[in-house]
């Protein structure tokens, strides 16, 4: 459902006990959510847009099968889910909630949470109080950050379980946190529409298997220390039109199995299969896919 004119939903929605998904994303005029959501006992996914400042958290906590929660353009929402436990939730995305200030990211509130996405929530931050609460550390597998300037250092507590780390439109991001005493588990790192490649990426050299650069329109060169990522198996470069070349010693990436380049006209000319001037530098890679 995506209708900007909807203000009120029929109460009878709560009688649909077989309903598994309820999507209200984009209903920006929706004044209140249906009452008695707890009756939707088979609900597994819900997306919410509402003018309410408080979500029906008690009802959501009663949904024992709820795994996916998407909160979108809830401009009056500030500090949800304090004291509320969502027992089965695995995926949480919060987007364009400009007044969101905090969220209790711990196992007391989200015992099964694996994927967390925060996008365009300019006031959101992890305060010192949040860091104390986070002693019950989530076993997060994926973190998505969009339009952030500073990476929350307190998230280092997830370093042991984190498998995917995605940065989208983080134009001013300069460094990843220095988690020197932690064992990095991250195996997938994605930079999408970013201007700088943080030097601290080197800390992932022993575990990183997949590295993606997507839509980095100002990127002219990959840093030479990328060659130190000894476990790298997949390198995907998409829509980076200013990228001039790959590192000269790319043959040092002994574990690299797949190189895919698409939407990079300069790289396409230089590394085109069999005929590119520098094709010989990547010809040893088992699967090289070079597209215009």
Instruction: Output the pLDDT for position 28.
Output: 82
DSSP output for the chain:
---TT-----GGGGG-TT--EEE-TT-TT--SPPS-GGG-TT--EEEE--S-SS--HHHHHT-TT--EEEEES-TT--STTTT---TT--EEEEES-TT------STTT-TT--EEEEES-TT----HHHHHHTTS-----EEEEES-SS--GGGGGGTTT--EEEEES-TT-------TTS-----EEEEES-S---GGGGGGTTT--EEEEES-TT--B--GGGGG-TT--EEEEES-TT--B--TTGGG-TT--EEEEES-HHHHHHH-TTTSTTGGGTTTSSEEEE--
The total of structural domains in the chain comes to 1
Answer whether residue 62 is part of any domain. Answer: yes
Answer whether residue 20 is part of any domain. Answer: yes
Answer whether residue 232 is part of any domain. Answer: no
Instruction: Output the pLDDT for position 132.
Output: 41
Answer whether residue 80 is part of any domain. Answer: yes
Answer whether residue 224 is part of any domain. Answer: no
Answer whether residue 31 is part of any domain. Answer: yes
Residue with tokens 């305060």: 127
Q: Assign residue 78 the CATH number of its domain.
A: 3.80.10.10
Instruction: Output the pLDDT for position 134.
Output: 42
Answer whether residue 289 is part of any domain. Answer: no
DSSP output for 62-107:
T-TT--EEEEES-TT--STTTT---TT--EEEEES-TT------ST
Report the chain (292 residues): mean pLDDT per 10 consecutive residues. 74 92 87 89 94 90 95 92 92 92 87 88 63 58 72 66 76 60 59 68 75 88 83 91 92 92 94 92 92 90
Residue range(s) defining the domain that contains residue 6: 1-124
Instruction: Output the pLDDT for position 2.
Output: 54
> 75-111 as b/e, with b when 16 or more CB fall inside 10 Å?
eebeebbeeeebeebbbbbbbbbeebebbbbbbebbe
Answer whether residue 50 is part of any domain. Answer: yes
């Amino acid at each position: 459902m995506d209708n900007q004119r909807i203000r009120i939903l029929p109460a009878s929605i709560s009688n649909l006990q077989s309903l598994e998904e309820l999507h209200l994303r984009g209903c920006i005029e929706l004044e209140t959510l249906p009452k008695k959501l707890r009756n939707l006992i088979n609900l597994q996914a819900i997306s919410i847009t509402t003018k309410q400042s408080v979500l029906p958290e008690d009802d959501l906590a009663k949904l024992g099968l709820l795994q996916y929660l998407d909160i979108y353009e809830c401009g009056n929402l500030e500090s949800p889910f304090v004291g509320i436990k969502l027992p089965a939730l695995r995926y949480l995305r919060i987007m364009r909630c400009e007044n969101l200030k905090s969220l209790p990211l711990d196992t007391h509130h989200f015992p099964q949470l694996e994927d967390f996405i925060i996008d365009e929530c300019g006031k959101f931050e992890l305060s010192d109080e949040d860091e104390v609460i986070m002693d019950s550390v989530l076993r997060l597998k994926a973190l998505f950050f969009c339009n952030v300037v500073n990476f929350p250092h307190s998230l280092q507590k997830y370093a042991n379980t984190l498998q995917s780390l995605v940065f989208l439109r983080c134009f001013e991001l300069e460094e990843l946190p220095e988690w020197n005493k932690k064992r990095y588990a991250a195996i997938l790192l994605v930079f999408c529409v970013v201007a700088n490649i943080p030097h601290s990426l080197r800390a992932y050299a022993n575990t990183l298997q997949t590295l993606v650069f997507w839509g980095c329109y100002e990127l002219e060169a990959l840093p030479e220390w990328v060659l130190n990522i000894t476990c790298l198996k997949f390198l995907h470069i998409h829509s980076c039109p200013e990228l001039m070349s790959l590192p000269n010693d790319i043959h040092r990436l002994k574990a690299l199995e797949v190189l895919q380049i698409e939407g990079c006209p300069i790289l396409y000319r230089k590394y085109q299969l069999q005929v590119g001037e520098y094709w010989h530098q990547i010809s040893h890679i088992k699967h090289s896919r070079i597209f215009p």
